[in-house]
Homo-oligomer: A and B are copies of this chain.
């Protein structure tokens, strides 16, 4: 579909902003990216956000659309499943994907750990290297004038001076505390919610061995599920792990307010994570150097204003990190918007379709990510839950076209998140019935159990 070549302003040069700028430039538009922070190549890494991220199929599809798949695979590290650590040091491995499936990069069906800073730099450089793209660092969005019909006026603050810009379209990719959304919030009938989790997190680095090798199995996301809190660790390509402790800020025996000094922190790790304590000689230094950070969720509606402005990524739908879908869902926003531009000539329709398609998906992945926190910190330590996952994996193996577990739909498919959420709820109701058999531990892998589950699923689809 042909659109007139226009001038786009992309506010925010993070992962979603730089990826979208690249996609837009490939369509022939003139694109300016305005990024609040300074050029990361002239100093340290971009921002103070988490160090590594999980990239899965939705992200890969968007990267492929932008011609970036091969470059990004060079910095992506395959993670095959979760490794759960019990207090006594016993571990259980649970594969993410289906065995025998090649997966998006041929490493089997898995997710990938990537460095946020490394990926961001790669995308910014690709955008900057593309014809028609210019990147402006150190430009803080100070105002967006939404009143004009023929264009959007933007004011940035750069080196203490105002910079005025005019654009045909504005894409707010400026994150959970978006300045573009802030201006939309002051317009009539714009719904907005920011909600903080009652839990916070603290990051601790697990260094590599002297020879550069990993101190733990490196193809796994490690979890120490402890009921109301958990430790997790995700490997980085340089041999380190980023360990993150998630726990309530206050109001519980095990919460940050009660881990106020070195003795309490050491006692916590001795009590709850004894197997990892010897691997973290820098525990107390990192604990005291790193902040206890909060986790915010953002919901808003609509995601666009008229035919000239829209929000993408965290600016529209900031979520908690427990499904590894924050970046992937933002990149899927780019895929969907780009697809709409392929088929729809009218910008007004493109924008309203974008909200119509993506808003329910954003609400669903917010909900799924919240639930996955409970699953990771609590259920992954529960034998009954692990048995249910084994039965579901077996159903998937035997009936791959019919039984796709929720995790697989979210992580390895392109089914809209809200459809995956609904399908998962139906499967869960079936699995509760299956698990209620008193002899389930004996017959879990029987033909009878599989047939009963599939009969219920098929009955649902015909209802």
Interface set of A (CB-CB < 8 Å, partner B):
177, 185-186, 188-196, 249, 294
Which one, B189, B192, B196, contacts A193 given CB within 8 A? Answer: B192
Contacts beyond the supplied A189-B249, A189-B294: 5 A-B pairs with Cβ under 8 Å: A191-B195, A191-B196, A192-B192, A192-B193, A192-B194
A185 touches B194 (CB 8 A): yes
Q: Which residue of B lies closest to A194 (CB)?
A: B192
Q: Which residue of B lies closest to A291 (CB)?
A: B188
Q: Which residue of B lies closest to A191 (CB)?
A: B195
Q: Which residue of B lies closest to A293 (CB)?
A: B188
Complex alpha-carbon distance, A294 and B186, angstroms: 13
Residues of A contacting B: mostly: loop
Q: Which residue of B lies closest to A177 (CB)?
A: B186
* Closest-CB distance, A331 to chain B (whole angstroms): 27
A194 touches B194 (CB 8 A): no
A196 contact set on B, CB distance < 8 A: 188-191
Which one, B177, B191, B249, contacts A194 given CB within 8 A? Answer: B191
A177 contact set on B, CB distance < 8 A: 186
A190 contact set on B, CB distance < 8 A: 194, 196
Complex alpha-carbon distance, A195 and B185, angstroms: 10
Can you list 18 pairs linking A and B with CB atoms under 8 Å apart?
Answer: A177-B186, A185-B194, A188-B196, A188-B294, A189-B196, A189-B249, A189-B294, A190-B194, A190-B196, A191-B194, A191-B195, A191-B196, A192-B192, A192-B193, A192-B194, A193-B193, A193-B194, A193-B195
* Closest-CB distance, A171 to chain B (whole angstroms): 22
Complex alpha-carbon distance, A186 and B188, angstroms: 21
Complex alpha-carbon distance, A185 and B294, angstroms: 14
Complex alpha-carbon distance, A190 and B249, angstroms: 14
Complex alpha-carbon distance, A189 and B192, angstroms: 16
A194 contact set on B, CB distance < 8 A: 185, 190-193
Complex alpha-carbon distance, A177 and B182, angstroms: 12
A189 contact set on B, CB distance < 8 A: 196, 249, 294
